[in-house]
Structure 1
């Protein structure tokens, strides 16, 4: 009797053995990375953008007939992630900039027309809204406790237009560094400071997608890379999720982002190594009656630590301000006349008076350069009119950009916004005007006709 029984058991074991072994093999491959990707990926979307751009003719002969170039519809692609089930999406501002039409595509292939709720070029964050319900939401974590060397995932839709599907791509790497500051580059609107550095591959189209930890929580927004070739070489950067969420909340509530202001200016890009001489960040200007002045900070003092972060260059200070909002308290350690001191500042909103803003030249908007504006923007000149908004077509026609400070038109000094308005009014219909301006701390010049 034992023989048939043993044979029967063997037959049963042989029948279930391959299935059990396959399940065991699958479970053994269910790593933390696999689990984290499965948790975040459903909320990752592709952001498809149409914008109009002015192009110059490639053939010099065509310049005779199209001296100002021609307009062309250009497609752009990026990524994003859903943060509320009713269709709020976070992405990068450089993805949505100048968009005439935006379509968000979910992982399951559904297309949703998207509306821009708000954009903030300074932090490179944009918030979109799609008409949806019960959409998957990305779990949010925190970046403040990230450990160097821990696993992270970059999830997005790189080269989505070539891959031809909406399934997000996952790349894995480690946290290479935190608190990274990138020096501003020509034409860069955003300030990339306090960034998360990773070697997880970030490629064109990944911008705006989430950087997630191994627990499947979003800790950053993938934004840019350093590369000599245009592709990933393992040096990518993400905006900390705390900053992205704060900016997104401000954009949803107010349509703009209120800037932290403490009423002081510090040594700029021309003194990046000054901290080695003085042991901190030198205060170059203090606004009268501002928060810093009320706390006793004076010109010539040396800032050492703010919010627990050591201060070496103006970029460290920018990172502190970007992550601080009006009404917050800011504890600063500094040195005054050789003595160590600590001050607690009450941060206020940047006091840019709305009455100072003047719309001119068919849409270009400027603001008078005040002490507050100088401190917030790091402007070197003590006068001028700051361009804070300018249409794309006007940029092409004038050579001016958002962030430029107009200092002089022909022989007339421009003290502020009203001077600029009057100067352009006088020049309308006449000959070309020559405009001197400050851009990124350097003097520039352009010439154009005012119609």
Structure 2
């Protein structure tokens, strides 16, 4: 395994984090249409009526991120040190609850040190990030306000390919001169799309709505609206060869976004569904081969829901509920609609036979594992066979990083999913081992830590003062 060494000094301080506020209110589904100035009836269309209904709830999301910059080489000769600079970002969101709950994309607020939102009339509020879900590229913000206009939400499962689609957002932000959202129109070009090639946002999206309504930089997080004036998706990504729209835009279905937003508002996190199977993968990441080989089970995690249901390596996943599974991307899309605790019917093909089994959806193994907090900025769990199989980890023993503060990630390099297996040549077999070792070596000089990141071995050297 390739090895990389980083060296840094770290002063660990107590970190405090507030939990998401509890709320029993659910995200609103239908809201009253907005009223506008009187115009000739001949000028009104389904599109203008839909825009009038939704546009008042669309907001501009403004972010700031403090970034470290290296010292000027000339200044460093005279003792100059590295400094910071502030980078600004823009996106779009829409209000889903009158008391200030807003939905946007996770990549819009990723890494932001401060977030604010501007309403259509120019009113600006500081915003708190209630929670993010990077897998679905969704985030929920909260502003302290009341009686805000809300976006009426529709049913993305009822979409028809070819029906009108309207994208509302703030492309290029204030370069257009004001906070009034822009509107583009097209059609629903497809549903259930799995986007695993390049795009604006995360590297893969599953079960997406495709539209040719123009989506440009700054539209991320805005609503995709039907001709009835109902939000049916969250604009999230474009496929582009030049950085701009070429008629291939993608939106997260609103039914999924509503479920995620409810979880984030009520619990501050989203529970990931897990059954404990790993599927065959094409060598070299060949997408065409991956699609052609179907959804064949490569391994089943011992003690997992899949093992309890009788699923075996070599089985082909065929169908879950009403959804056909033709390849691993369809399976990844199906997982997004499953909820922890559900008993889900699953059809598998074994040889020439099709078998029906029922699988009880569970949390990821590390979620239920005992957590060990280290110096208040790091949360570890002991690596188990289930976690190792689920994540494809090479190391056989160690402490899995479950949570790491932003400072730990930036200054030491540890990220969630990494596995610590040595500290100053002391082998680490559990989360408790790692905690004891770090406590012992704190204040005693440099600490050398060896860890696995995405299948490769790394080392980092730091000090705890």
Q: CA deviation at 1:229?
A: 2.9
- Give the TM-score of the pair, scaled to structure 2: 0.80
Cross-structure match for 1:50: 64
Q: Alpha-carbon deviations, 1:256-312, whole Å to 9, x = none?
A: 1112122322224647525634xx312122233432222211122121222333334
Report matched runs for 1:94-105 at 5 Å: 94-105=107-118
How has the CA–CA distance of structure 1 residues 386 and 142 changed in structure 2, closer, same or farther, with 3 Å as cutoff?
Answer: farther
Please state if 1:392 is matched with 2:406: yes
Report matched runs for 1:264-275 at 5 Å: 264-268=277-281, 270=283, 273=289
Secondary structure at the residue paired with 1:244? helix
Work out which of the residue numbers 216, 231, 249 in structure 1 matches 2:229.
Answer: 216
Secondary structure at the residue paired with 1:123? coil
Secondary structure at the residue paired with 2:247? coil
Please state if 1:276 is matched with 2:276: no
Q: Alpha-carbon deviations, 1:390-429, whole Å to 9, x = none?
A: 3334333234434444456676665443444455556655
8 Å Cα contact 2:366/2:402 also seen in 1: no
Q: Which one is further off, 318-327 or 90-99?
A: 90-99
In 2, Cα distance between equivalents of 1:88 and 1:24: 30
Report matched runs for 1:372-411 at 5 Å: 372-374=386-388, 377=391, 379=393, 383-406=397-420
8 Å Cα contact 1:397/1:448 also seen in 2: no
Please report the RMSD computed on the Cα atoms of aligned residues, expressed in angstroms: 3.3
Cross-structure match for 1:347: 361
In 2, Cα distance between equivalents of 1:368 and 1:186: 36
In 2, Cα distance between equivalents of 1:355 and 1:65: 51
Q: CA deviation at 1:186?
A: 12
Work out which of the residue numbers 215, 234, 248 in structure 1 matches 2:247.
Answer: 234
Report matched runs for 1:329-368 at 5 Å: 329-352=343-366, 356-360=370-374, 363-368=377-382
Please state if 1:256 is matched with 2:256: no
Q: Alpha-carbon deviations, 1:60-92, whole Å to 9, x = none?
A: 555667898432222221111111122211111
8 Å Cα contact 2:423/2:450 also seen in 1: yes
8 Å Cα contact 1:123/1:190 also seen in 2: no
Q: Which one is further off, 141-150 or 395-404?
A: 395-404
8 Å Cα contact 2:196/2:203 also seen in 1: no
Report matched runs for 1:124-135 at 5 Å: 124-135=137-148
Q: Of Structure 1 and Structure 2, which has the larger fraction of its residues in helix?
A: 1
Cross-structure match for 2:11: none
Q: Larger C-alpha radius of gyration, 1 or 2?
A: 1
Q: CA deviation at 1:183?
A: 2.9
How has the CA–CA distance of structure 1 residues 313 and 378 changed in structure 2, closer, same or farther, with 3 Å as cutoff?
Answer: farther
Please state if 1:40 is matched with 2:54: yes
In 2, Cα distance between equivalents of 1:350 and 1:372: 9
Cross-structure match for 1:5: none
Q: CA deviation at 1:249?
A: 0.6
Work out which of the residue numbers 424, 435, 441 in structure 1 matches 2:450.
Answer: 435
Which one scores higher on RCO, CA 8 angstroms, separation ≥ 6? Answer: 2
Please state if 1:28 is matched with 2:42: yes
Q: Which one is further off, 419-428 or 99-108?
A: 419-428
Cross-structure match for 1:76: 89
8 Å Cα contact 1:427/1:433 also seen in 2: no
Cross-structure match for 1:243: 256
Cross-structure match for 2:17: none
Q: Alpha-carbon deviations, 1:310-350, whole Å to 9, x = none?
A: 33443322211121111223221111243211112222233
Cross-structure match for 2:129: 116
8 Å Cα contact 1:156/1:209 also seen in 2: yes
Cross-structure match for 1:179: 192
8 Å Cα contact 2:200/2:237 also seen in 1: no
